[in-house]
Structure 1
Amino acid sequence: MLLYEHPLSSYAQKVKIALREKGVAFTTELPETFGTGRSDGAFAQANPRTEVPVLIDGDARIFDSTIILEYVEERWPAPPLLPRDPAARAFARMTEDVCDTQYEAVNWGFGEILWFRRATGALADHLREEAAAQTRILQDWLAGRLGAAEWFGGERFGWADAAAAPMVNRSVHYGLGPAEGSPLARWHARLRERPSVAQTFREFDAAAARMAEAADLYTTGGRRREYRDHRLEWMVKSGGVEVVLAGLRDRTIRFPWPDGARRPEAPAD
C-alpha cells in the first residue's frame, strides 16, 4: 500500500497517524510533480487536484484526507478511531472539520511568512500577529472541547485527536503552542508519547529543518503554493491581499484544479 504524501502536510500526518494506530503497513512517496500543478503522471491520475495525501490500496485510488480516514476506519475497523455513539461521532467529525479548515489556514498563513517570505516589514508583522491571535482562539475552542478528559474522545485516543495533533504540533513548532501546563499542552505532551504520533512528528521535524532551502523553489517559480479556498480566505481577511496579487503577478501561487492545472496569466498593466 502506498501513500503519496509530504511530511509537512497536516492532512497527510493525520492519515499516517491513523494508519499507524491501526498497525497498517504502508510506504510513503513524495510525488515528483508535487507543487507544480502538472497534470501528468501517476500522482495526477490518482488525484486530479494534485494534492496530498492520496492512498493507493490495490486498485483503489483515494484522495482527500477525510475520505481516506473514513476508508481506513471501514477497511480496518480495529482498533476503532470513531466512537459508537452518533453524537460522539459528530463531535469528532466537527472537531476534524474545524482543524482541517480554520486551523490549517492559520498555520498555513503563518508558514507563508516564516518559510516562504511572502511578506516583509509591517505587513509580515501584521500577518504574524493575526495568526497568533487566531491561534489562541482556536486553541481555546479545542481546550473547551477537550475539557478535563485525556483525549478528545474521552478515555481513548481517537479520530479528533488524530485530526488535531498535526495542527497543534505545528503551532508549537511556530512558537504559538498552548500555555505551558494547560490542559491542551498536557494533551500535546501525551500525544508525543504515542508511537504513531511520535514517528509522524519526527518526520515533520526532519522536513521542517530543510524548509529554508526548499522554500526558494516556491519563491522563484520552480514550485507554486496552492491557495485552497480556506487558505485564500485567511490571507485576504487577515490583510494579505497584496500577497495574493504578488503571487499571481510573479506566478508563484496556484489555485486548485481545474484552474490550478494552468499557469495563471500575469495581470495586465
Structure 2
Amino acid sequence: MVAVSKRSVMTLYSGATCPYSHRIRLVLAEKGITADIHHVPVDQVPEELAELNPYGSLPTLVDRDLALYDTRIIVEYLDERFPHPPLMPVDPVSRAKARLALHRIEQDWYTLLADLESGTRAAADRARKQLRESLIASDELFTVADFFLSEELSVMDCALVPLLWRLPRHGIDLGDDSPALVAYVERMFAREGFQLSLSDAERTMRG
C-alpha cells in the first residue's frame, strides 16, 4: 500500500487486454462502482503509476489515500467497501471454499493463459490442449448452479469469465463437448455488467 494524494473518484489503471484488469473492471461494473479507468500500455508504464506501485503492474486501483496492486486484494477490498451485492460468501467455511476455488482457477487455468499469451509456440500448443481438456473435464461443475458453484454471482465468476472470453483468441473451441459450460458462458456474456466491463480491444477478441 502506498500513500497518495486525495482523489474524489476511484481510479483504475488497467490493461486493455489484461485478464487480471478485466476481473477488476467486471467487479466494478457488477457492483455499479464509479471509477476513472485509464488503459495503460504494458510497455509504457506512466511515471505516476510507477510512483503508486513499485512493480508498475496492472491492475492498480487508487482510492483516496490508498493504492492497491494485487488483483485478489483489490477484489476483496471492493467487495468489503461496497458490500452490495456481495461477491464473497458470508460464513467462514464458504469463504474459504471460494478462496480455494479461486486458487485453483489461477493455478490450473490462468497459468496456461499466460503460456498462450507469451510462451513459445510449443508451450502455447501444450497450454491450448491442456486448457481445453481441463475445461471440458470440468463441465459437470457448471451444472451445480446458474453461477460457478454458487447460486449468486461471486468472485469465482469474476475470475473465470474474463478467461473464457479469451478462448477464441487462442484458438480454443469447446464445441459440443461441454454443454453446461457453453450454457454458462452464454448466460454470463449476456449480463449487462459483463458487457460494460469490456474494453474496446477486448470486444474485438470475439468480433
Give yes or no for the alignment of 1:171 onto 2:179: no
In the alignment, what sits opposite 2:200? Answer: 203
User: How many residue pairs are counted as aligned between the two chains?
Assistant: 196
- The two structures have a TM-score, normalised by structure 1, of 0.65
Task: Report the more deviating stretch, 77-86 or 168-177.
Answer: 168-177
Give yes or no for contact 1:168–1:177 (8 Å, CA) kept in 2: no
Counterpart among 183, 187, 192 of residue 186 in structure 1: 183
In the alignment, what sits opposite 1:111? Answer: 117
Give yes or no for contact 2:140–2:180 (8 Å, CA) kept in 1: no
Counterpart among 67, 70, 73 of residue 64 in structure 1: 70
Identity of aligned residues (%): 24
CA distance 1:206–1:168, shift in 2 (3 Å): closer
Quote how far apart the aligned CAs of 1:197 are.
Answer: 0.9
Give yes or no for contact 1:169–1:177 (8 Å, CA) kept in 2: no
Q: Distance in 2 between matches of 1:200 and 1:62?
A: 19
Deviations 1:80-129 (A, max 9, x none): 0112233322222222223333322212222236xxxxx5xxxx2x3343
Instruction: Specify every segment of 5 or more residues in structure 1 that has no aligned partner in the other structure, as ranges.
Output: 114-118, 210-269
Q: Distance in 1 between matches of 2:180 and 2:199?
A: 23
Give yes or no for the alignment of 1:88 onto 2:97: no
Q: Distance in 2 between matches of 1:41 and 1:149?
A: 45
Quote how far apart the aligned CAs of 1:76 are.
Answer: 0.4
CA distance 1:63–1:163, shift in 2 (3 Å): same
CA distance 1:106–1:5, shift in 2 (3 Å): same
Q: Distance in 2 between matches of 1:182 and 1:204?
A: 28
CA distance 1:86–1:135, shift in 2 (3 Å): same
In the alignment, what sits opposite 2:43? Answer: 35
Q: Distance in 1 between matches of 2:137 and 2:54?
A: 34
Q: Distance in 1 between matches of 2:159 and 2:142?
A: 13
Counterpart among 146, 149, 154 of residue 145 in structure 2: 149
Q: Distance in 2 between matches of 1:153 and 1:42?
A: 39
Deviations 1:146-203 (A, max 9, x none): 3331111422111100010111211233231433461111111101111111222453
CA distance 1:42–1:137, shift in 2 (3 Å): same
Q: Distance in 2 between matches of 1:41 and 1:85?
A: 41
1:81 counterpart SS class:
coil
2:167 counterpart SS class:
helix
In the alignment, what sits opposite 1:12? Answer: 21
Q: Distance in 2 between matches of 1:177 and 1:15?
A: 26
In the alignment, what sits opposite 1:246? Answer: none
Give yes or no for contact 2:29–2:196 (8 Å, CA) kept in 1: no
Q: Distance in 1 between matches of 2:181 and 2:100?
A: 18
Q: Which amino acid aligns with 2:192?
A: P
1:28 counterpart SS class:
strand
Q: Distance in 2 between matches of 1:42 and 1:11?
A: 20
Give yes or no for contact 1:82–1:92 (8 Å, CA) kept in 2: yes
CA distance 1:129–1:31, shift in 2 (3 Å): closer
Q: Distance in 2 between matches of 1:204 and 1:90?
A: 34
Bigger-Rg structure (1/2) = 1
Counterpart among 126, 135, 151 of residue 139 in structure 1: 135
